[in-house]
Amino acid sequence: MSNARKLILITGGTGFIGNHTVSKFLSNGYRVRATVRNQDACDRLLSIHWRHRDLLETQIVADITRPGAFDTAVKDVDGIVHMASPFTDKITDNVKDLIVPAINGTKGILQSTVSFAPKVKRVVLTSSFASIADFSKGLRPGHVYEESQWSPLTYQGTKDGNRGLTYAGSKKLAEEAAWQFVETSPGVNFSLATINPTMVYGPAFPGSASLKHLGQSMSDIYALMDASLTEVPPTMLPAYVDVRDVARAHLLAFETDQPQRFLISAGDFDKQKVCDLLRDQIRELKSRVPVGNPGKPSVGEHYEVDCSRARSVLGIEFRSFNETFLDMGHAFMEIENAEKDSPL
């Protein structure tokens, strides 16, 4: 698919993955229309990506669950990357705050595409490893996860679960709804791909992050280096991928036409290994990062993640563990220094 000034709609472009994905499409010559929730987010996004200001426009979509929310945003676009989905600490109602926005937002943008975006031939949906994994079975030593597998979480189990299970279930239910829509709805003239990353780490896109408003994966790593911990926390999810590779996967998936799921993971993740790396390689952090048990993994044997489809179809290769977490550590220090020097 030629990128000759094609206009791509990216929802959720202000997030951790979203900012990198917006940048990736812009730097490859695409025009981008990014949806944002309010004018402040619009101004912030345009400021962050000022180098490509001539290729970037924004559209306010305050509530992605509203019927027809994306009807205007999809008009005249050539492709869609749908990343907008709730993942927040402020959950008071599992259905209202997570499940409904995830499912209805996904179905809504696909319906808007059918109704108002006849030029669109490709839609890429940001899903999750959570749509694939069966977390009820723990670390599952010897098991290999790949794209044909689905999380067994049901609507009821998602509705009644804790926050982690509810998030996982909402991603599964939203992706499932997307595939069902494409397979059964009349008028669909586009192919669908999903990106299913494991835990996403790496540096925030420059200018996009504040230490007071970090997402879950960012705050987990910053907690290792802000001198608040004396022990290394347990590793709950032992697989990771760099946010910059996730952004690139979205671009590569958009530029192929195969209707597939793409599981994205760079390899094993362990918080003890992160601490060892930061203490050893970044002198300023040596006294701030917990020591733990150097060289001894904090997680035992566990499942493997098979990314052979992404490697073969997308041609993607992944950044190393050291690159991801050293870049992340340095980026946090830059944010600290910038906020220290800020008069606000």
Among 293, 292, 276, smallest CA distance to 329 is for 276
Residue 264 and residue 245 in contact, taking contact as beta carbons nearer than 8 Å:
yes
Beta-strand pair 239-242/122-126: unpaired
171 is catalytic: yes
**How many residues in total does the chain contain?**
344
Residue 120 and residue 99 in contact, taking contact as beta carbons nearer than 8 Å:
no
Q: Find the helix packing angle between 271-281 and 216-225, rounded to 10°.
A: 50
Helix, strand or coil, per DSSP, at residue 58: strand
Residue 317 and residue 266 in contact, taking contact as beta carbons nearer than 8 Å:
no
Given 6, 24, 171, 273, the catalytic residue: 171
241 forms beta bridges with 200
- Residue pointed to by tokens 């989905």: 85
Q: How many CB atoms lie within 10 A of CB 244?
A: 22
Task: Tell me the catalytic residues.
Answer: 171
